[in-house]
Amino acid sequence: MRFWRYLTAVVMGFGAGALYGWSALAAPLQQAFDVRTAEIGMVFSIALVSFTVAVLLAPAFTRLMGSDRVLAVGALAAALCTTLAAFAPNFALFVALFSVGFGTASGLLYSTVLTIAAQSPRPQLVTPMFVTVFGLGGVVFGPVWKILAAADWGLTALLPLSALLLIASLLAWFTGNRKTVDGVQVKQSTTDSVSASASASVSAPAKSATPGQLLHIWLIFASGAFAGLMVLGLAAEIIEAGPSTLFLTSAVLAGVALANTTGRLSGAAFGKAADSPLNGLHVSALITLVGLTTVLLAPQGLAVGIGLVLIAGGYGLLASTITMLTARQTRPADFQRHFGLVFTAWGAAGFVAPWLSGIIFDRYGDFSLAYLIAVSTTVALALLVWGFRRRL
């Protein structure tokens, strides 16, 4: 039974992670509804806000229903929303179904999958595996959607994801535990990017973070996430703003999702010494700035693809080390509540970055100003981390 439970969780995480491949649907969305880049960015922005809310509420659903039932219902809702979104007659309904519906279901599935990982006999092994699977959803579905869109599937390119989620829902329903509610709560269940091996190495402080410290961490996360979420939301639009091919766009989308996943897992390397998360955040800022410099100097073709991959990798490392930084500043009993507050920074950055970048492109015809804003927020990240180190 444990095998089927883990298999179901893997499939769920993979399907939920398709959200990170979203930008491949930008072209068919424009063709279907004649929307501008700002509106395309808003689709991802609203999805991230919905994802954030779902992650914060997921523990309550797990206590009420048990993780297996949450997976079954969440996957069914995701399958239904993506199926209906594929045939949405207007843009507003597509946003409601994909951004709100699938975004919420994706967050619910992600959080619940990590809860199952944390309850496993070997969470330090299972949790990184599940985090990786989530990232691989974007690696696979981004290029697949791009290829299907090129073959004139339009928004019906969503249907393979719908089928996968429906199968996963049935698997969870018929193989899950129907009799018990396993509402065990662990810190991994509310994080954007948890690495169990990193979490396990965090020593608990004697007292929890002050409101000022939590605000400082919130600002670090919000400023650092801007560049990465801009890329994850608009990667296809950025690549196709200049000369491009289907192969290049698909390869960059896969590279962005893979770099994001690799960055998250690499956070484990910064979990040993007391100030290691801060070192990781500085490395994240450096990688992101190198990527932004690349896209500013060579904003077309393969060079911009390399820059986007670097930015995504820096973002992944940021998301992982923020979790460890928060854990080092708060007692285990307070972690879930405190990180829930910090996690809203991700939702805030996710709402602003793709939407604002889309507005800039619509007005000026390129993303240069958006890149410069991202440079400023990344520099702010480095300065905020330096300031946090001084107050320790």
The token pair that represents 233 in the structure block: 């939301």
Task: Give the SS3 label for residue 206.
Answer: coil
Between 327 and 277, name the one with better pLDDT. Answer: 277
Amino acid at 136: L
pLDDT digits (tens, 9 = 90+) for 100-148: 999 999 999 988 887 787 677 776 567 667 777 888 888 899 899 989 9
CB 46 within 8 A of CB 103: yes
Is residue 215 pLDDT above 60, yes or no?
Answer: yes
What is the pLDDT, as a whole number, of residue 272?
61
Residue with tokens 């958006």, as numbered in its chain = 370
What is the pLDDT, as a whole number, of residue 266?
83
The token pair that represents 174 in the structure block: 């018929």
Within the chain, which residue ranges are assigned CATH 1.20.1250.20?
A: 1-190, 193-392
What is the pLDDT, as a whole number, of residue 123?
62
Handedness of CA 197, 203, 204, 205 (dihedral sign): negative
CA dihedral 232, 238, 239, 240 (to 10 degrees): 130
State which fold the 193-392 domain adopts.
Growth Hormone; Chain: A; (1.20.1250)
pLDDT digits (tens, 9 = 90+) for 344-386: 898 899 999 999 999 999 999 999 999 999 999 999 999 999 9
Mean pLDDT, to the nearest integer, of 190-203? 42
pLDDT tier at 200, thresholds 50, 70, 90: very low
What is the pLDDT, as a whole number, of residue 203?
52
pLDDT digits (tens, 9 = 90+) for 297-307: 987 788 999 99
The token pair that represents 348 in the structure block: 């805030």
Q: Which of 295, 179, 189, 284 is nearest to 237 (CA)?
A: 295
The token pair that represents 328 in the structure block: 């080092």
Is residue 84 pLDDT above 90, yes or no?
Answer: yes
What is the pLDDT, as a whole number, of residue 185?
40
The token pair that represents 230 in the structure block: 């801009």
Q: Which CATH number fits domain 1-190: 1.20.1250.20, 3.40.50.720, 2.40.50.90, 3.40.50.12240?
A: 1.20.1250.20
pLDDT tier at 194, thresholds 50, 70, 90: very low
Taking only Cα atoms into account, the Rg of the chain, rounded to an integer number of angstroms, comes to 20
